[in-house]
Chain A
Amino acid sequence: MVSIQNLHKKFGKNNVLSGVNLDIKEGGIFAVLGPNGSGKTTLIKSVLGMVIPDKGTISVLGKSIKNSSNYRNKIDYLPQIANFPSNLKVKELIKMIKDLRSFTNHDDDLITHFKLEPFLDKKLGNLSGGTKQKVNLVLTFMFDSPLIILDEPTSGLDPISLLRLKDLIQSEKAKGKTILITSHIMSFVEEISDEIVFLLEGQIYFKGTINELKTKTGQSDFEHAIASILTNNHA
């Protein structure tokens, strides 16, 4: 599905990614974890072509993404911070993205799923952070793409919306889609992901299931297992 070879990226003097090799097979939920500044967002943005790597190759669905934009038709992306043009109405934004991409009628189901009807005629600048995130989720999930990338999907959501999001992710997984998630909420990751990828100092420190991680670190609890990686490497 996604294959990354020897990916390097520097921002000024800051070496964010130094030689990442990663293969993500089709189907299932993959969580990309790591401490702040470990390069999770940079890795995701490289796959999306928003960040241009210094070195290395990335291919999505078997094709190199270099100088290409059409492959993004196969990707749904949820950005980390939901910032939208503030003088646009929710309805207009959804219509615009549909116009720019392709026809879909999933948006109505998603709007009911997240109970967004009362906000459709409001301007995006007047929405709360959580509501913006819900709009963000609608925009992401309304296209039926085989690869879904979610950067901190839980941020700002209330408990009910979080439950709805989990249902949504599981139903997408049931359709055989590949879902890539970054999150700092360990309970969310533990509950939802099939496999985790742990980034540390610009490289992949661990890739495997949560149980494998627990045996590797000798901890019985997922949160402690992650914590033990961090303390052992930063002590």
Chain B
Amino acid sequence: MLKILKYSFYDLMRSRWSYVYFAFYLLLSVVLLFLNSDLSKAVITLMNVIIVLVPLIGTIFGVMYYYNSKEFTELLLAQPLKRSSIFLGQYLGVALSLSMSLVLGLGLPFIFYGLFRSNAIWDFSLLIITGTFLTFIFTALAFNIALSNENKIKGFGFAILVWLFLAIIYDGLFLMSLIIFEDYPLDKLSLIGTMLNPIDLSRTLILLKLDISALLGYTGAVFKQFFGTNFGLIVSFIMLVLWVIFPVYRIVYKSKRKDF
């Protein structure tokens, strides 16, 4: 698996898109630091961008990489390699190179700005960690979708739909259900609702840490009340880990049964 990971990683490192992605984050954080001149405010603005954008890039990159390397995958399948190591290697290659662009692109400007001397360092690290989690989650979802759809266009469309649903539509539906059922106790429902969407979960996680009650919203408030800040952090971390494990498990399961 490590050899496949190595080749996928090098392959992506040579592609222009990794650099575009890296440059984008570099620019974004430089501009934000310029405009805000305050580290913790910049962290909040960054969070709003990252939480929508990282899943989108992870999804598109994952699907694109899978379909583009199809021929290469077929070449590998005829070699004495396990299927699980081929696909996990490719998945980790994509997820790691994307995470690297994210961490370096955001990290470098903040470090130069004096992150280590500021007390925003923990908030910032949490932001980077959730960003990495989201990359791993959505790349895994993208690989799942691509493995299940032979048709490229269908796969792409479906992947974008999943992103759109989790990033935007889910929140709308969630809010509507809260309004419609306002006469009922909704704590449990909103807790479960947040757990089932990795994007919402990341948002709540970061806001809990930043401790900005004004931005927490209803779910965040329930979360905080229910779990308390520290326990809430741990529970949401566990949920994020599960969000990585299940799609990865399905990649292994699906790839073992697929015909090429």
Contact = CB atoms under 8 A, between A and B. Distances in A.
B81 A52 contact: no
A69 B78 contact: no
A101 B80 contact: yes
Contacts of B224: none
Nearest to B260: A50
Contacts of B82: 69
B183 interface: no
B182 interface: no
Nearest to A86: B71
Contacts of A75: 78
B184 interface: no
Nearest to B257: A52
A79 B74 contact: yes
Contact of A48 (B15, B69, B72, B78): B78
A71 interface: yes
A77 interface: yes
B28 to A, nearest CB: 28
B83 A77 contact: no
Given A45-B260, A48-B78, 11 more contacts: A52-B259, A71-B80, A72-B78, A79-B78, A83-B74, A85-B72, A87-B14, A88-B11, A96-B7, A100-B81, A101-B80
Contact of B69 (A51, A85, A97, A101): A85
24 contacts: A45-B259, A45-B260, A48-B78, A50-B78, A51-B260, A52-B257, A52-B258, A69-B83, A70-B80, A71-B80, A72-B78, A72-B81, A73-B80, A79-B74, A84-B72, A85-B11, A85-B69, A85-B71, A87-B11, A87-B14, A99-B3, A100-B3, A100-B4, A100-B76
A75 B81 CA distance: 12
B79 A101 contact: yes
B234 interface: no
Given A50-B259, A85-B11, A97 B72 contact: no
Interface string B1-37: 0011001000100110000000000000000000000
Interface in B67-102: 69, 71-72, 74-83
Contacts of B72: 84-85
A188 B82 CA distance: 35
Nearest to A101: B79
Contacts of B15: 87
A101 B79 CA distance: 7
Given A11-B259, A45-B260, A96-B7, A50 B74 contact: yes
Contact of B78 (A70, A77, A84, A88): A77
